[in-house]
Structure 1
């Protein structure tokens, strides 16, 4: 009896797998076609080790990044130091203020005599003023040095009639000082309108003048002296006549300070 011959299974096509999953067999990896090569390269060689031709570029970028990071750190350190200094200075000033309780000196005009103003002639005048200024330092622990370079001027209707300076002196704490100064002017030409106005005001015994003082001072706190500070004093002074002795009818002073 002839035996039957069964045809053999055809080989699996590309992409198909053979095997019995139920029996624990797994599909085999596809065999690469002829003339195909598979090269496996470790990951650290791909991402961490640059090829030789790019090594110098990596070094340049690394140095540049390190330099930028160093500059950023230095800039942040400088800003932090400045901020700390500002905070410490503010705390120091607050402590000094609480300890010494500084207050501005007060000024007033106590004497103001006028001479040398002739209103009957059209010739230039050479006025003279003797001014006495009262300075009160009410601070308990602060002294004031009045330095050289001060100016004192007397104005009438914005015309500078005469000028002078304050003497150099030291005013201790809790002190009242009367400062006398002589002011002179030379060849001051007044308009006919000003002469007429001054004669009218003198007849009413109310001749107004403006006194302006600019004094450089240094403040003494304990044993420490500050930088030079400028005190500006402005006073409106009205007198009864333009001859000596004249009497002050009204006076009002204000002041401000230039710290720098």
Structure 2
């Protein structure tokens, strides 16, 4: 092999002993002060290139296999430990974003209320005419129930007191029901129309019973008793899909739920309206 120098030394036992003696003997050295200083002279290997050969079975890769397995186990444990921490961090950010969006929604609602000053819609029953009940209640009730076909002509007044909010009413999906003591008497639908700001609208509705109403003897007697008292309570329920318009922006459809308590002094067509009271709630359509 190029660049390789081999130095071989062979000594006899006598020569080896003499050599060690020569290496360890004191050699006088003269310094500037003319004093003798004892020194050891050591043998120095001659310069050159040396090749060290190691058997293959003693060569190990870096890292050794056992260290590689330890490192892999350590990284797995680190991943397991970091899992919950990552989940907590992600959960923290999600909660933070939701709180921020909720804060923005509250601010938007406050601005909306301050700028628009929204007011609730107002409803009132102007007319409540009854057909098909007067006289039929006094018929002989030998059976346990009596089948009737009542009709109602209802006039409802809707008022929009808002100065910057208008409404679109839709017939599709609407329902109007008149009932007495939880017994549904007649049904119908609401009409489609647009109600602008600061506007009052009168709606007329004809409600009928398509398949007739089976009225129990108990309900019939209760209706007669209220008629004699001159105060017959009815309930009027309206479910109407509407869209709210603010400027040029329209919202999605919401359902207005109007519930009215109506009292009549009789069951004739021209019976007087004793009292009426209506309330309204809004529900978003899912």
TM-score between both structures, scaled by the size of structure 1: 0.71
What is the CA deviation profile of residues 211-253 of structure 1, one whole-angstrom value per residue up to 9, with x for unaligned ones?
1122222222222222322222222211232222232111122
The 5 A counterparts of 1:124-143 are: 124-143=147-166
Corresponding residue number in structure 1 for 2:201: 177
> How far is the alpha carbon of 1:187 from its aligned partner?
2.2
Q: Which has the greater radius of gyration?
A: 2
Is contact 2:242-2:253 (8 Å) kept? yes
* Separation of aligned partners in 2, 1:76 and 1:83: 11
Distance 2:105 2:212 in 1: 52
> In the aligned structure 1, how far is the partner of 2:224 from the partner of 2:77?
88
Listed as ranges, the matches of 1:8-87 within 5 Å are 51=67, 54-62=70-78, 70-87=86-103
Unaligned runs of 5+ in 2: 1-65
- TM-score by structure 2 length? 0.65
1:70-111 CA-to-partner distances (Å, cap 9, x unmatched) read 555444333332222222222112111111111210111001
- Counterpart position of 1:158: 182
Q: Structure 1: how far apart are the matches of 2:275 and 2:175?
A: 23
Q: Matches of 1:111 and 1:102 in 2, distance apart?
A: 28
Contact 2:121–2:280 (CA under 8 A) maintained in structure 1: no
107-116 or 87-96, larger mean C-alpha shift: 87-96
Report the counterpart of residue 241 of structure 1 in structure 2: 266
Residue by residue, what CA displacement relative to the aligned partner does 1:141-182 show, whole Å, maximum 9, x if unpaired? 111222221111111122111111111222111111111111
Deviation of 1:207 after TM superposition, in Å, equals: 2.2
C-alpha distance in structure 2 between counterparts of 1:93 and 1:179, whole Å: 32
Change in 2 beyond 3 A, CA 1:254/1:54: same
Match of 2:268, SS state, is coil
Distance 1:226 1:216 in 2: 12
The match for 1:33 is: none
- 2:106 is the counterpart of 1:90: yes
Tell me if 1:257 matches 2:282: yes
Instruction: Write the mapping of 1:186-201 to structure 2, written as runs, cut at 5 A.
Output: 186-201=211-226
Give the stretch that moved more between structures: 146-155 or 62-71.
Answer: 62-71
Q: In structure 2, what is the equivalent of residue 119 of structure 1?
A: 137
Change (3 A) 1:78 1:207: closer
In structure 1, the partner of 2:230 is: 205
Q: State the superposition RMSD in angstroms.
A: 2.5
**Count of aligned pairs between the two proteins:** 211
Runs of 5+ consecutive residues of structure 1 not aligned to the other structure: 1-49
